[in-house]
Amino acid sequence: AVARCADTAWALSVGQDIHFPTTTGKRPTVADRLLHRYVGRLSRTATGSFHAATALTDVLALQAAPASLLRPAVLVTALAGPLRPPLDGPQFTPAERALLDALREPGGRHLREPGAA
């Protein structure tokens, strides 16, 4: 009974491994590749869609079965795709960017709080 509870978590954690070329064992089937692409698209869609994000998070948090990602409303959301273009990188404020730049300098100089002596 305990093992059955872990089946979904185990399948989610190892199911992506077969898509890496260095993985040994069985190769992904057409269905595996299609599902992999669908979940990838749903993940990209989830960055701008509450509905997609909730559906995906519920499955990843083991609150819903993976089959729930195939509900018509979720399928339509995924097919519509991301509502926003992908970010070109992290969106830092100028202060955050300055801090990161300073930390990248040789020796990673130590920074003081603004106004500190």
List, for residues 15-66, the tens digit of each pLDDT value: 777 777 887 878 878 888 888 889 889 999 998 899 999 999 998 888 998 8
Q: Is residue 107 part of a domain?
A: no
In Å, the largest CA–CA distance within the chain is: 63
Name the residue with tokens 């089946």: 7
Q: Is residue 74 part of a domain?
A: yes
Q: Is residue 27 part of a domain?
A: yes
CA-angle at 99, arms to 111 and 88, nearest 5°: 170
Mean pLDDT estimate for the chain: 81
Q: Is residue 112 part of a domain?
A: no
Q: Is residue 108 part of a domain?
A: no
Q: What predicted TM-score, i.e. pTM, was given to this entire model?
A: 0.64
Domain range spanning residue 22? 2-84
Q: Is residue 14 part of a domain?
A: yes
What confidence category does residue 69 fall into, taking pLDDT thresholds of 50, 70 and 90?
very high
Q: How many domains does the chain have?
A: 1
- CA 82 to each of CA 34, 71, 76: distance values in angstroms, whole numbers, following the listed order: 18, 18, 12
Q: Is residue 42 part of a domain?
A: yes
Q: Is residue 96 part of a domain?
A: no
